[in-house]
Amino acid sequence: MIFSPRIGQKELAQLCRRLATGLTSGVDARQVWSREAAGYASAAFRRRLDLVSDAINHGSTVSDALVETGDYFPALFRELINVGEHTGKLAEVCRHLAEHYEHQIRLRRVFLAAIAWPVFQLSAALGVIGLVILIIGVLPKDERGKPIDFLGLGLVGGSGFMIYLFVLSVAAICLGLAIQAVRRGALWVRPLQYVLMKIPVLGPSLATLALAKLAWTMHLTLETEMSVLKSLPLCLRSTRNAFYTDRSDEIAQAIRAGSDISSAMADTKVFPTEFLDSLAVGEHSGRLPETMALLSTEYQDRAQRALATLTMLAGFGVWLLVAAMIIMMIFRVASFYIDMLNNAANGNF
């Protein structure tokens, strides 16, 4: 559900790092989770930690204990913790998860830092429009006793300003819901993702980010010796992109029918040739985990460049919106004064 509580990425990265450190040091899992539950955490986080700690102290495995928390922890985290326990590589899995989430946090920070100035400009432009709406309300009225609406929005004075704020608030809420829906994989987002993947420049950048997550997850699950039929759907879901997740059943059926991974993925015709070639080389050489590790590193570098492209596109989009707003205001004011001059020339005072 979109509104169900979820752990923040920063909290999750810190948790994975502490778990990896404790388990690597030889501390028992029960002690590690008890210490986590007793430590500093938000109220929602602490409740889930208490559930996990209590379940482990009563004999449950960590993966079974995490089931008690519902969807609070992401599926990737829960699945890999389960694999780590069954393969005896829980500390290593936690370390890899910590590195993954820390990398995602760094990418997000870079994006937010780059987009901060365009967003500030947009906020300033919206603020100027709101100020103009307020000023219109105190200016002298025209000969018909009506406010002089420079902007032509039909919004003047305090009441118009409140309507304007309401519209902006609704737009901000809708944007927030859309972002949250993408993060939670809501069904109605899927058609939008297909459309975005077809847009030049934007589509390839989104594909690179998705494939970077896919390569990393495949590397980790293959290292833990997780079964292919179980790991591939998890890996595809990690992309959070319907363009790839919708191929999960098709790939699984092909593998059950005897195809190798690279051939099954190639039949979907959505994965790039170089990705499939690397996958095929790893399969045929018997070094698929090592190959995916190299591919993951390469795609992480590509993901940073793709993020820079997305940042540029987002900034350009914001600047374009600001420019359109400024141009609209200029034309509206110019049109108002031209009408005044025409009325004066025709003797209509």
Q: Do 183 and 296 belong together in one domain?
A: yes
The whole-number pLDDT of residue 26 equals: 84
Distance, in Å, from the CA atom of 172 to the CA atom of 170, rounded to the nearest integer, reads 5
The whole-number pLDDT of residue 170 equals: 92
Q: Do 235 and 328 belong together in one domain?
A: yes
The whole-number pLDDT of residue 186 equals: 62
The whole-number pLDDT of residue 263 equals: 92
Q: Do 25 and 143 belong together in one domain?
A: no
Token reading at 256: 């059950």
Q: Do 48 and 164 belong together in one domain?
A: no
Residue ranges of the chain with pLDDT lower than 70?
Answer: 1-3, 40-41, 140-145, 147-152, 182-188, 333, 336-337, 339-341, 343-349
**Is the distance from CB of 217 to CB of 234 less than 8 angstroms?**
yes
**Amino acid occupying residue 233:** P
Distance, in Å, from the CA atom of 118 to the CA atom of 124, rounded to the nearest integer, reads 10
Residue 110 lies in a domain: no
The whole-number pLDDT of residue 50 equals: 87
**Is the distance from CB of 274 to CB of 251 less than 8 angstroms?**
no
Q: Do 54 and 202 belong together in one domain?
A: no
Question: CA distances (Å), 19 to each of 26, 50, 60, 159, in order?
Answer: 11, 15, 17, 55
Of 70, 101, 132, which marks where a domain is finished?
101
- As for how many domains the chain has, the answer is 2
Q: 53-77 burial, b if ≥16 CB within 10 A, otherwise e?
A: bebbeeeeebbebbeebeebbbebb
What is the residue range of 87's domain? 9-101
Secondary element (H or E) of residue 253: helix 248-256
Of 46, 67, 101, which marks where a domain is finished?
101
Work out the angle between the directed axes of helices 29-38 and 9-24 (0-180°, nearest 10): 140
The whole-number pLDDT of residue 2 equals: 57
The whole-number pLDDT of residue 76 equals: 82
Residue 135 lies in a domain: yes
Residue 3 lies in a domain: no
- SS3 helix, strand, coil % of the chain, rounded to 5? 75, 0, 25
The whole-number pLDDT of residue 166 equals: 92
If we measure between CA atoms, which residue out of 104, 20, 33, 103 comes closest to residue 62? 33
Of 68, 101, 134, which marks where a domain is finished?
101
Distance, in Å, from the CA atom of 98 to the CA atom of 108, rounded to the nearest integer, reads 15
**Amino acid occupying residue 95:** R
Q: Do 170 and 51 belong together in one domain?
A: no
Q: What is the pLDDT of residues 179-196, one digit of tens each?
A: 777 666 665 677 888 888
Can you tell me which residue has the tokens 């001059």?
A: 341
The whole-number pLDDT of residue 343 equals: 65
Residue 116 lies in a domain: no
* DSSP code per residue over 309-326: HHHHHHHHHHHHHHHHHH
The whole-number pLDDT of residue 271 equals: 92
